[in-house]
Amino acid sequence: MFADVSQELKGKDCLTLFDYTPEQLTYLLQLAKDIKVKQKANQIYQPLKGKVLGMIFEKSSTRTRVSFESGIYQLGGTGLFLSSNDLQLGRGELISDTAKVLSGYLDGIMIRTFSQADVEALASDASIPVINGLTDDFHPCQVLADLQTIEEEKGKLQGLKIAYIGDGNNMAHSIMVGAVKMGMHFATAAPAEYLPKQSITEKAQKIADEQKVDINVTTDPVEAIKDADIVYTDVWASMGQESEQKKRETLFADYQVNKELLTHAKDDYLFMHCLPAHRGEEVTADIIDGDHSVVFQEAENRLHAQKALMVALMGD
């Protein structure tokens, strides 16, 4: 089965997890696991020797840049950091022109930007794989690492419940899609005006129905977190929303992940956060730094999951 899946993924883009079947996601997670084992054993594994990944950044990053740049190097290839200020994109060159030019130089493109439409336009005109490193709507690479972490800790994905508490942003969207694709129940809670986009929720609900799992979108954090195996949160104001920080602190005050709220989760819950975190805002320090937290394991797995993605999409 995996041989067929491997062929399906060669040359494919990674724009959202909607584009991937459960079998393809299972393959990527197994590959990430195998790659991590090799790295921990100091085995040289360079299937992308001679390959070049271009990394376009319109949004700053710690984990995305370092994990992709380290990952392509460890796989035998080279990563090129391409700030939008250094490209003609920053001076008005058409995305389609940039896509065609870069396709002649590179073996893959990772882009971290604001607009999902821009990523999709880039992929439409590129003849090489395009990987979404983050947009305002989706963050698929993070969720691949999240799923890898959950499977490592819980031994499975299917049947578990993940509760996302906070802003219905790119992380809420991507976790919802990744969870239901893998047979997990998903619940989320936020103030009414900050819930995930209805169009994305409706699309995910169709997948949930096929997989016979639940999606619960609510304004009640206690309802969302009840009996959760995994509790996830993110900052209340993401990049580009700094002017709303004070307003959001007031609106989200009842959505802080703290000891009291977590009494409604399962006793052996995992706490997850994509980082960076604001201790004392979306989560208290005793939780993110406590025994249930796997945030740094999760961050490390960005490296292994993205290496698997690059091997699958860019490899020969």
DSSP track, 287-300: HHTSTTB-HHHHHH
Torsion 60-63-68-74 (CA) sign: positive
- At 1, the pLDDT band (50, 70, 90 cuts) reads low
pLDDT per residue as tens digits for the range 244-262: 888 999 999 999 999 999 9
pLDDT per residue as tens digits for the range 186-221: 999 999 999 999 999 999 999 999 999 999 999 999
Q: What is the torsion angle, in degrees rounded to the nearest 10, for the CA atoms of residue 202, residue 204, residue 209 and residue 214? A: -100
For residue 129, whether the previous peptide bond is cis, meaning omega lies within 30 degrees of 0, is no
pLDDT per residue as tens digits for the range 19-67: 999 999 999 999 999 999 999 999 999 999 999 999 999 998 999 999 9
Residue 241 tokens, joined:
């929303």
Q: Is 234 annotated as a binding residue?
A: yes
**Residue 14 annotated to the active site:** no
Cα-trace Rg, the chain? 19
Catalytically annotated residue among 13, 302, 304, 306? 302
State the Cα–Cα distance between residues 173 and 157, nearest whole angstrom. Answer: 18
User: Residue 281's pLDDT is what?
Assistant: 96
**Residue 112 annotated to the active site:** yes
Q: Where in the chain is the domain with CATH 3.40.50.1370?
A: 1-139+302-314, 140-298
Report pTM.
0.96
- Single-letter residue type at 114: F
pLDDT per residue as tens digits for the range 103-159: 999 999 999 999 999 999 999 999 999 999 999 999 999 999 999 999 999 999 999
User: Residue 90's pLDDT is what?
Assistant: 60
Residues in the chain: 316
Q: Is 157 annotated as a binding residue?
A: no
Torsion 103-105-106-107 (CA) sign: positive
User: Residue 245's pLDDT is what?
Assistant: 84
State the Cα–Cα distance between residues 192 and 58, nearest whole angstrom. Answer: 30
Q: Which of 122, 103, 120 is nearest to 52 (CA)?
A: 103
Look up the CATH superfamily of 1-139+302-314.
Aspartate/ornithine carbamoyltransferase (3.40.50.1370)
**Residue 139 annotated to the active site:** yes
pLDDT per residue as tens digits for the range 66-79: 999 999 999 999 99
Q: Is 314 annotated as a binding residue?
A: no
Residue 42 tokens, joined:
């100091």
Catalytically annotated residue among 13, 74, 112, 185? 112
Options 1.10.150.20, 3.40.50.12160, 3.40.50.300, 3.40.50.1370; CATH for 140-298 is: 3.40.50.1370
User: Residue 89's pLDDT is what?
Assistant: 74
